[in-house]
Amino acid sequence: MKKIFIVGSLNYDLVINAPYMPVGGETIKGSDFMTNAGGKGANQAYACGKLGGRAYMCGVVGEDSFGKALIDSLNGVGVDTTYVRRQEGVSTGVAVIVVTEGENRIIIDSGANAYLSEADIDLALSGAQVGDIYLTQLENPIDIVGYGLKKAKEKGLTVVLNPAPASREIIKYLEYVDIITPNETELEILGGKDALFEAGINIVITTLGGAGYEIATNAGAKIYPCIKVSVVDTTAAGDTATGGLCVKLAEGENIENSIAFGSLCASLACTKRGAQMSVPSLDEVNEYLNNN
C-alpha cells in the first residue's frame, strides 16, 4: 500500500443542535452540545487511518488542550502525526457548528492553521515516494496550499484536492492536481467541469449529496447513486468520502471502485453525530457489505 500524505487544517469542533437558525438578535434553545476533533485536513487523515490507510498528517495546532486532543485523536486511529507542529502563542483552530434538521452550518477561526508553512510541507514530503497519495483542502492559506500541490506533483505523487471551502484563488494551482472532489456549489464557484479540465485536471468527482456522485473525465461523465440511510448529521461526510477514496487509491484500486468505497463510508458517517467520531471503521464498512 502507498503512503497517504494529508496536508491541511486541524480544528476543534464545538457542536450544538438547534431547531432552526436564529435571526439577528434572537436567542433560542439548543440541545445535545458536544465537542469533537475536526478540521477538514484532520478529518480526512482520520478517515484514512480508521479505514486502514498509511496516513501521515501535516498541519499546525496551538500549544493548548485543543491541540493535544486533536493529535491524540489522530494517533488513536494510527495516523502518523510527526509532521503536526505546535505553534507557540496562538490558539488551535476552532469550528462552531450548528446542526439544524441534519444539515450543518459552520463558523471557523483558523487559529494555528494560518501558520502552515512551506517548510512544514517540505519536511512532511521528505520521505514521499513516486506514486504515493497527496491530499489537501483549502482551510489553510491558499499560497501555501498551492505550494504543496506543486511540490507533490514535482515529486511524482498522485495529487488529490478537496476544494473546500471553495476559493477561486486556487485556480492558478490546478495544473498540479490529478483528481478534484468538489460538491456542486464548489464546482460552480471554480467555473464548472470544462474549466477544470482546461486547467489540466484529469478526473472531477462531484459529490451530489443524497443523489450520489458523478465521475467526469474528458471522455464523458456518469452519475452513480449512493446508499440510502437515515441522516442524523452530515458533518464530515465529504471528508470521509475523500479519505475513503484515497485509501483505495493507495491500495491500487481504480477510480470507480475507490470512490464507490468512499461514498459508502460517507453514507455510513451520516448516521452518526459529529465529525471524526462519525467516521466508520473498516470493520463497520465490511459488516454493512456482508449484510447488504
Q: Would you state the cell numbers that stand for residue 152, as one nine-digit string?
A: 507533490
Please name the residue ranges forming H helices in the chain. Answer: 40-50, 65-75, 118-124, 142-154, 184-189, 193-198, 237-250, 255-269, 282-291
Mean pLDDT of the chain: 94
Residue 101 clears pLDDT 90, i.e. is over it: no
Domain limits, the chain: 3-282
CA–CA dist 25, 67 (Å, integer): 32
* Cα–Cα distance measured from residue 206 to residue 226, given in angstroms and rounded to the nearest whole number: 13
User: Across residues 234-253, what is the average pLDDT?
Assistant: 93
SS3 6: strand
Cβ within 8 Å of residue 139, ≥6 positions away: 8, 9, 11, 39, 40, 41, 93, 108, 110, 113, 164, 165
Closest CA to 34 of 10, 15, 12: 15
Residue with cell 451520516: 270
Helix 40-50 to helix 237-250 angle (10° resolution) is: 50
Whether CATH 3.40.50.720 fits 3-282:
no
**pLDDT tens track for 114-152:** 999 999 999 999 999 999 999 999 999 999 999 999 999
Q: Are 85 and 114 in contact (CB under 8 A)?
A: no
Q: What secondary structure does DSSP assign to 96-120, as a single string?
A: EEEEETTEEEEEEE-GGGGG--HHH
Q: Tell me if 6 sits within 8 A of 125, measured CB to CB.
A: no
Angle of CA points 102, 106, 107, to nearest 5°: 160
pLDDT band at 69 (very low <50, low <70, confident <90, very high): very high
Nearest to 234 by CA among 53, 120, 115, 104: 104
pLDDT of 41 above 90: yes
Q: Is residue 234 scored above 90 in pLDDT?
A: no
The model's pLDDT over 246-291, given as tens digits with 9 standing for 90+, comes to: 999 999 999 999 999 999 999 999 988 777 888 999 999 998 888 8
Report the C-alpha gap between 148 and 184 in whole angstroms. Answer: 25
Percent of the chain with pLDDT over 70: 100
What digits encode the pLDDT tens for the residues 151-161?
999 999 999 99
Positions annotated as catalytic residues are: 239
Instruction: Tell whether the model's pLDDT for residue 50 goes beyond 90.
Output: yes
Report the range of poorest mean pLDDT among 62-71, 79-88, 92-101, 175-184.
92-101
**C-alpha cell of residue 267:** 453514507
Q: Report pLDDT for 115.
A: 98
What's the whole-model pTM score?
A: 0.92
